Structure 1
Amino acid sequence: MWAPVSHRPGWLAIPLLMVIAIPAGDVFLPPDIHLAHILVVATALTAMGYGPRPTALIGALSVLALIAAGAERNTLTTESVLVELVSLTVLCALLVVFTHLRDRHGRELLRARTVSDTAQRVVMRPLPTRTGPLTLAGEYHSAEADAYIGGDLYAAARTCGSTRLVIGDVRGKGLASISDTAIALGAFRAAVHRCIPLPELVAYVEDTVGWGLAEFSEAADPDAGERFVTAVLLDIPDDQAVAHVISCGHPPPLLLSRTTGAVTPLHVAEPAPPLGLGAMSDTPYTVTTFPFEEGDRILLYTDGVTETRDADGTFYPLAERVTKWSDQAPRCLLQKVVADLRAYAGGLLHDDVAMLVVQRDQVLVPD
């Protein structure tokens, strides 16, 4: 993207020097060598780095320099110089118009992007770095260029002596996936502070997501009946060295043990259907409890991580690779994984990627 003037403070010196040096050099050159036609480069260089006013200024100076060079050589009224003069004047005018349109488009694009970024950040709020006895870090990369969020989501909230977290993956792409992301996150945030048991929280989120997705009728969206959200929800109490987990069709979190360095997938006993498909099953939500000791970390992720392929088409082995960084702090751990993931994929990620690391710093003993 074109950089503003403030990013190129010395750029204007080049065309100014050309406007001065080219006519001056013409004085010392043989009559058959004429440099004044190169003045068009000065205006073009100005247009590359500045707006319409500096471009018009350099263009006017270039025209005057060409007139001065022609007068100096007594060739101002010759056909060749007149053609150069008219050509330079027309080209300078066109460059001024071009820079005006470019700047106006750039301002419109900047306003649109600012509004878009603000709206997206309202949906995907930044994670706190500390919540209760836990340290958190999140990482998000959208597959869409210039987009902050897409079809992946995560959130964390404090409630009644515990921390609750969710990570999910919306089926779908584009604006529709962002809408579903907002529905799922809104449902989680609306219910998480009610201090209800985790199965009731998931049931509420399921009802809200199912109702929200149903608003997209088959007529408006041919794939409406196939839209859903895979998710994992965790409840981590402050005073117990455990983590309660319910999985709704989502990849299992990874437990990184502080004492052994082992990486263990947290497979729940009875996984539930993805959110939005819960009406297809009458099975109640079952909580699976895992040990979560001081210094341990839990890595939550979406399938954009594990389905990243290398040049041979092999999926990224997250559980195997993350072992090398199991002793890293949450933020550093995520940075290592992202860098390794990009290198594994050859530099480009073709799917939304979301990761969340939660580290237990201590177990709070109640008074």
Structure 2
Amino acid sequence: MGAVTTVDLVAGPGVGFLPLLSLGPAFASLIGGLRRTAAIGLLALLLCVLLGLYDELLEARRGYTAIASVAGVSVAGLAATAGRKRREAELANVRSIAEVAQRVLLRPVPRRAGHLRIAVSYTSAAAEARIGGDLYEVVTSPGGVRVIVGDVQGKGLEAVETAAVVVGAFREAAHDEPDLACVSARLERALNRRLSGEEFVTVILAEIKDDQTVTLLNYGHPAPLLLRADGTFRFAEPPETAPPLGLADIGPQGPASYRVPLAPGDQMLLYTDGVTEARDRTGTFYPLGERAFLLKVPDPDAALEALRKDLETHVEGPLHDDAALFLLRYREPG
């Protein structure tokens, strides 16, 4: 509005810049509140009247048209501001509900369980919602520390509902069942009551005991990354591939469990495909194995934060898929 006033004073009444003063209340409706928009609208109307007097246009049709334009846009700006504030309040409520749902579905995991130190990092592709289809949980049971990390096919509310079914079933089964095979059978039954068609969930189950071994059960999920105390790493691939949960018709027998050693000082990283399938501008996938050295940071939470930042640097922007990182460190005795 200051620029329009200056140009109008310099150019004189022959050009007719007065209607451009309506840009002030128009832009104010995009960023300000009702009071701010009303104040800028009144200021624009006042400037229009003063410039009309200066240009001797108030008695002409151009002057009345300019004042009517500024007044009309100011009223429309107030209506737009009211609608925008209402939508912002509704969005804030939705975000609050999403945060509560996130805490219920993916509640904070214990930092320590048995001989393990645990850290978790979760990044949703829908950053505003702060919730997605990836899932994780840890339960201390009589059979050892049991962990699940999974990824639901698809996105949106349906994926969140399916993730809630899997996590809820795991929390109950991990306490009651004698081994991972029975836990996975409970999960399969719970999913069969929920899923339809070709929907599925990739899942990896882990059971860590005091004998420095980890038993794994992999349902079509990316293999865990094992980082040894000496700095070497490998991916704990299953002996045979198996279909995800929810596709029992393809592989009715399910996957075979396999064991890997986990000595003091070793680490195991469980993750979802949002990590390894993240691409940079050239289409190159994120090289998780080459970035394993980032997990050597003494604090496990800081190690995962460094890995998450490196992942975002690789894609040079927001992630296109949910990414969950679940780090298990076998502590030294004492």
Matching residue within 343, 347, 352 for 2:313: 343
Partner-residue secondary structure (3-state), 1:351? coil
1:143-196 Cα distance to aligned partner (Å, 9 max, x none): 345333333211112223732111112233433322221211111012122263
Look up the match of 1:319: 289
Alpha-carbon offset, residue 233 of structure 1: 1.0
What is the CA–CA distance in structure 1 between the aligned matches of 2:23 and 2:144, rounded to whole Å?
66
Instruction: Report the alpha carbon displacement of residue 287 of structure 1 after superposing the two structures with TM.
Output: 3.9
Is the 8 Å Cα contact of residues 59 and 89 (structure 1) preserved in structure 2?
A: yes
Q: Is the 8 A contact 2:98 2:131 kept in 1?
A: no
Decide whether aligned partners of structure 1 residues 326 and 39 sit closer, same or farther in structure 2, where only a CA change above 3 A counts: closer
**2:212 maps to which of 219, 241, 245:** 241
Aligned residues: 331
Aligned-partner Cα distance in 2 for 1:105–1:282: 49
Separation in 2, partners of 1:39, 1:331: 54
**Contact kept? 1:124, 1:149, Cα under 8 Å:** no
Q: Deviations over 1:299-334 (max 9, x none)?
A: 011222222334444433322332x22412322322
Q: Which residue in 2 is equivalent to 1:156?
A: 138
- Against the structure 1 CA distance between its residues 321 and 99, is the aligned structure 2 distance closer, same or farther, given a 3 Å change threshold? same
Structure 2 portions without partners, runs of 5+: none
What is the identity, as a one-letter code, of the residue corresponding to 1:335? Answer: E
Does residue 204 of structure 1 match 2:186? Answer: yes
Task: Give the C-alpha shift of residue 298 in structure 1.
Answer: 0.6
1:250 matched residue in structure 2? 221
The answer to whether residue 274 in structure 2 is matched with residue 292 in structure 1 is: no
Q: Provide the rounded CA distance (Å) in 2 between the counterparts of 1:249 and 1:22.
A: 67
**CA distance in 1: counterparts of 2:12 and 2:142, whole angstroms:** 90
310 and 59 in structure 1: CA distance in 2 versus 1, 3 angstrom threshold? closer
Comparing 347-356 with 68-77, which one deviates more in the overlay? Answer: 68-77
Q: Which amino acid aligns with 1:136?
A: I
Q: Kindly tell me: are residues 334 and 30 of structure 1, through their superposed partners in 2, closer, same or farther at Cα, counting changes over 3 Å? A: closer
SS of 1:193's equivalent in the other structure is: helix
**1:261 aligned residue:** 231
TM-score (norm 2): 0.83
Structure 1 residues 261 and 46: CA distance shift in structure 2, 3 A:
same
TM-score under structure 1 length normalisation: 0.77
Q: Say which is worse superposed, 140-149 or 241-250, in terms of deviation.
A: 140-149
**Aligned to 1:179, what secondary structure does the other structure show?**
helix
Query: Would the alpha carbon gap of residues 76 and 359 (structure 1) be closer, same or farther in structure 2, given more than 3 Å must change?
Result: same
Match of 1:357 among 318, 327, 334: 327
Q: Give the partner amino acid of 1:227.
A: E
Match of 2:93 in 1: 111
Quote the offset at 1:277 in angstroms.
3.1
Aligned ranges 1:1-367 → 2 under 5 Å: 39-68=21-50, 70=52, 76-144=58-126, 146-160=128-142, 162-194=144-176, 196-213=178-195, 216=196, 224=197, 226-237=198-209, 239-258=210-229, 260-269=230-239, 273-278=243-248, 281=251, 283=253, 286-322=256-292, 324-328=293-297, 329-363=299-333
Superposed CA deviations along residues 203-231 of structure 1, whole A, max 9, x for unmatched, are 22222223332xx3xxxxxxx1x222221
- Partner Cα separation in structure 1 for residue 52 and residue 252 of structure 2: 91
The 1:202/1:74 distance shift into structure 2, 3 A limit, reads: closer
Report the Cα offset of residue 31 of structure 1: 6.5
Contact 1:160/1:195, CA 8 A, preserved across alignment: no
CA RMSD of aligned residues (A): 3.3
TM-aligned CA distance change 1:49 to 1:310, over 3 Å: closer
Is contact 1:233-1:246 (8 Å) kept? yes
Whole-angstrom CA distance in 2 between matches of 1:318 and 1:74 = 72
Cα distance in 1 between the residues matched to 2:68 and 2:225: 71
Compared CA separation, residues 151 and 84, structure 1 to 2 (3 A): same
